[in-house]
Structure 1
């Protein structure tokens, strides 16, 4: 085992140097120009049947992935303490064998699947920070015992400056004794998950990089199904199906039978059902718009051609979206392989997570970097769900990332939404897309003036102000929606417009939205261009341009200052406006 300290991840290579090194080295695909297709290449059953039979007869706590429990009352206090520290039942983890067997959760047809006899060897990269010792070494044992040795070039552990004593000399000794192909690389300061993965990838020499988490258990024959599609096309990235290892009982069970990865407009990872065609053969890999991020296989060539991860992304968060967008938009594709299954400990939902010394909001800065480089006009949907947060964040220098996108001739995000994630908007509509109308509201009588909050929404009267250049997604001061609740509000927020009194020349102010109250009822009459207020619909919003004020007054057809134009009107929804009014 070789232990090497990293001061910075670029101490040995910069990303550009690494890309140059990869390009100059003969890859698996160059060494095997013939026979890399399913019709002519030799296929092989990679199952280690004898090892599987030995595992089936194992006896003991947690074997075959069965749930286990702590019956010793004297250990319960320690269990609670260790659970708070790790996010899972670490005491029980210590009681379960690091060699334990797992149930074969694969679809029946996977047991007879054959894959290329000539598969490239992989570099497995596992970052960790203060991982519980038994969970970490169980991860290693499961990988080594359930993977053909000739397919493992190396396993690279990257220690993100852990401070637990057992993860120093004790781990070194353990790895030296049991895992000759494992190397440990250590940071001398905390740098985060993304930097740790990059550091491992920089050191890797295998033709394929496999990124794994440090609290997993692989299932039978997990690796060949990931490699086979990449051999066919090195710009294909493949993820295993992720099973659940229960954080309390360590039961190993199926999460589901497969789903496609997407996101909502808060950038929370979501999963949506498979298409009917994907379910016809449950053993066949299927396309997925977004990877879950922690476990995947990618050719080393392709990873560095894509620039690896954006080195400006800090700690963790957003990297799965950045890489997924790059894969699809720059000429690759992303698959999930049902015949490859890996169990993963999902920590308790109330676990506070690991601490960081970063004082800035690194997570949302990461999100903004991804959005600014890759999401084009769709980034505004993300920003409008951030309640003004993104406006305060500096994304940093994006010159290299934008240059990479141009260099690779990547497609637009609109192409991604229409060809890859084409049902995402239906499953997770952005705020405003279900509204009757939204965007900037311009006055017809004074066309240079737009409805404006005139400051924070703190119950002050609103007015009109010089129209901003951006119309569809202006600043929150001029971004409005006639919402599905039939109110006029700041788009995506809970501040609604309401007249102080139901009489002429009454000012209009912000109130908390009541979601259907008659005091906040507004309608847009497309024919007259009126913004009509109230249930009786006899008052309209009127601008006083000279004073930059707005009031409600009796509706008058010849008054241009009572006429307004929305940037976007959903005519189909607005046609049914009165049918959806609350009774």
Structure 2
């Protein structure tokens, strides 16, 4: 085994002898002369490696027992395959190791280019759950690939800066240019999910530029769906794309429409390119209190509160967040229909507070129903959103349609969409 350890800087303080307590035939440390970022540093390491298979891992990872053979086996079956391990969680506080939450799922993306996970559809489920399964996109940078095939694909796009977007670029490319990608349940690698980035990104570089570069190279007309949600991307410069487009032409790669139809055909079910009309949106005003729900631009764990409605003269400061969307996923998110944040109303019991939590799109604790009696019903707990106007608290309670503290008025309602959602529930 040849192991290449890549450093992105060449500071003197880093130049010290390293001792490794485990047997390795050769460990080569390569230092760049200046900061290159993750993407170009990986390219440098790959250019020096001599093994038949390249394996890319982050430095903040720990491999589990027997992690490598399942990856190599899949590549041996088809050398044009990229394979990814299951990524488990290493706690950043105490380094405890935990299996990733939930069942094995396919890698996906929404049209703002956020990475997502979706269930494996019945058509792709195997009798043995330990068998590798196809995945449209990888989670990040943990994968193995035949070295020659990696370079046949052009490696990473060297025009991508620092990090970000490279997982989509390599994923789209391998599928569209004659290969495939699999996640391998029997290969487990732990990853530390840090609470903050321990380095500074140089000014003038951005994730947005990388994502636009990937979209313009690989996504064809589907890039427009990204720009509709991220209009600020339209005016970004991607740099010169001629080499990447020539590579795509040389490899006779299929178009992105084929990718969406043949590989990522289940993604639109969860993340449709054209966002369906919402059922209701705008401020949510309580009938009894004549106050509005306010999430204060909070994140996960933030409890919703009542506050004076901005439209009634409350100070129009950034601290207020009183626009919400009840959409086709039957969850409620802060923001206007085309620009919602990635947090959802969430409740865990019939007496709990109503909080914001990262949207997962799987209903459960984030599933809501807006009923004709103006109540916001929570099917999982069989309870309704209630409030205490004096204390401005919002919480779950047993449903009482006669109680005005449980009656809520959305600023805008599309009755056609709302009735369709409610009739679907009644029929089921």
Range into which the TM-score falls when normalised by the shorter chain? 0.5 to 0.7
Q: Residue 80 of structure 2 is aligned with which of 230, 235, 249?
A: 235
Q: CA deviation at 1:303?
A: 0.4
- Is the contact made by 1:212 and 1:295 (CA closer than 8 Å) also made in structure 2? yes
CA-CA distance at 1:218 after TM superposition: 1.3
Q: CA 1:245/1:493 → structure 2, altered by over 3 Å: closer, same or farther?
A: closer
- Where is the helix percentage greater, Structure 1 or Structure 2? 1
The equivalent residue for 2:110 is 264
- Does 2:262 correspond to 1:419? yes
Aligned partners of 2:3 and 2:28 also within 8 Å: yes
Q: 1:252 aligned to 87, 97, 110, which one?
A: 97
Contact 1:266 / 1:385 at 8 angstroms: preserved in 2?
Answer: yes
Note if 1:342 corresponds to 2:161: no
Alignment pair present for 1:305 and 2:149: no
Gaps of 5+ in 2: 279-326, 329-335, 341-369, 371-413, 423-428
Q: 8 Å contact 1:194–1:313 — kept in the other structure?
A: yes
Cα offset, 1:353, TM superposition: 3.8
Match of 2:34 in 1: 189
In 2, distance between residues paired with 1:195 and 1:580?
A: 50
Give the TM-score normalised by the residue count of structure 2: 0.64
- Alignment partner of 1:328 is 2:178: no
Q: Is the contact between residue 219 and residue 341 of structure 1 (CA under 8 Å) also seen in structure 2?
A: yes
- What SS does structure 2 have at the residue aligned with 1:169? coil
Listed one character per residue, the Cα deviations across residues 395-441 of structure 1 (whole Å, up to 9, x for unaligned) are 111111111111111111111111111111111224x43039xxxxx
CA contact (8 A) 2:156 2:166 kept: yes
CA–CA distance in structure 2, aligned partners of residues 226 and 581 of structure 1: 44
Q: How does 1:405-484 map to 2 (within 5 A)?
A: 405-430=248-273, 432-435=274-277
User: Match of 1:129?
Assistant: none
Distance verdict in 2 for CA 1:581–1:344, change over 3 Å: closer
C-alpha RMSD of the superposition: 2.9
SS of residue paired to 2:125: helix
Deviation at 1:270, TM superposition (A): 0.9
Q: 1:279 Cα deviation (Å)?
A: 4.9
**For the residues of structure 2 that align with 1:163 and 1:248, how far apart are their CA atoms?**
27
Q: What are the equivalent positions in structure 2 for 1:58-457 lying under 5 Å apart?
A: 152=1, 154-161=2-9, 163=11, 165=13, 167-171=14-18, 174-175=19-20, 179-256=24-101, 257-276=103-122, 277-348=124-195, 351-357=196-202, 359-386=203-230, 388-430=231-273, 432-435=274-277
- Residues 473-516 of structure 1 deviation map (CA, whole Å, 9 limit, x = unaligned): xxxxxxxxxx98xxxxx98359xxxxxxxxxxxxxxxxxxxxx9
Work out the CA distance in 2 between the residues paired with 1:213 and 1:395.
26
Note closer, same or farther for the CA distance 1:346–1:164 as it changes in structure 2 (3 Å cut).
farther
Q: Name the CA shift for 1:266/1:163 in 2 (closer, same or farther; >3 Å).
A: farther
Which deviates more, 199-208 or 210-219?
210-219
Question: Is residue 175–residue 182 contact of structure 1 (8 Å, CA) maintained in 2?
Answer: no
Measured at CA, do residues 389 and 579 of structure 1 come closer, stay the same or move farther in structure 2, by a change above 3 Å? same
Gaps of at least 5 residues in structure 1 are: 1-151, 437-482, 485-489, 495-515, 517-573
Instruction: Return the offset for 1:217.
Output: 1.6
Call closer, same or farther: CA 1:353–1:378 in 2, change over 3 Å: farther
CA distance in 1, matches of 2:11, 2:158: 25
| TM-score normalised by length of structure 1 | 0.47
State the alpha-carbon separation in 2 of the partners of residues 162 and 316 from structure 1.
Answer: 19
In structure 2, relative to structure 1, the CA distance for the partners of 1:581 and 1:241 (3 Å cut) is closer
Q: What is the CA deviation profile of residues 102-138 of structure 1, one whole-angstrom value per residue up to 9, with x for unaligned ones?
A: xxxxxxxxxxxxxxxxxxxxxxxxxxxxxxxxxxxxx
Identify if the C-alpha distance between structure 1 residues 181 and 577 changes in structure 2 by more than 3 Å, giving closer, same or farther.
closer
| Cα deviation code 1:307-361 (max 9, x no counterpart) | 001110010000000000001011100001111111111112xx1442122x224
Deviations 1:227-279 (A, max 9, x none): 11111211011111111111122111111431111111121111111233525
* Cα distance between partner residues in 1 of 2:129 and 2:418: 46
Q: Contact 2:88–2:188 (CA<8 Å) still a contact in 1? A: yes
Does the 8 Å CA contact 1:236/1:332 hold for their aligned counterparts? yes
In structure 2, the CA distance between the partners of 1:189 and 1:329, relative to structure 1 (3 Å rule), is: same
Change (3 A) 1:576 1:298: same
Residue deviations 1:122-161 (CA, integer Å, cap 9, x gap): xxxxxxxxxxxxxxxxxxxxxxxxxxxxxx2x00011100
- For 1:279 and 1:251, how far apart are their aligned partners in 2? 31
* Structure 1 residues 177 and 302: CA distance shift in structure 2, 3 A: closer
* Max Rg structure: 1
SS of 2:269's partner is helix
Counterpart secondary structure, 1:389: helix
Contact 2:275 2:338 in 1 (8 A): no
What is the CA–CA distance in structure 2 between the aligned matches of 1:334 and 1:265, rounded to whole Å? 21
Which residue does the alignment assign to 1:89?
none
Gap change, CA 1:384 and 1:168, over 3 Å in 2 = same
Cα distance change, pair 178–169 in 1 and its aligned pair in 2 (3 A): farther
* Number of residues of Structure 1 aligned to a counterpart in Structure 2: 295
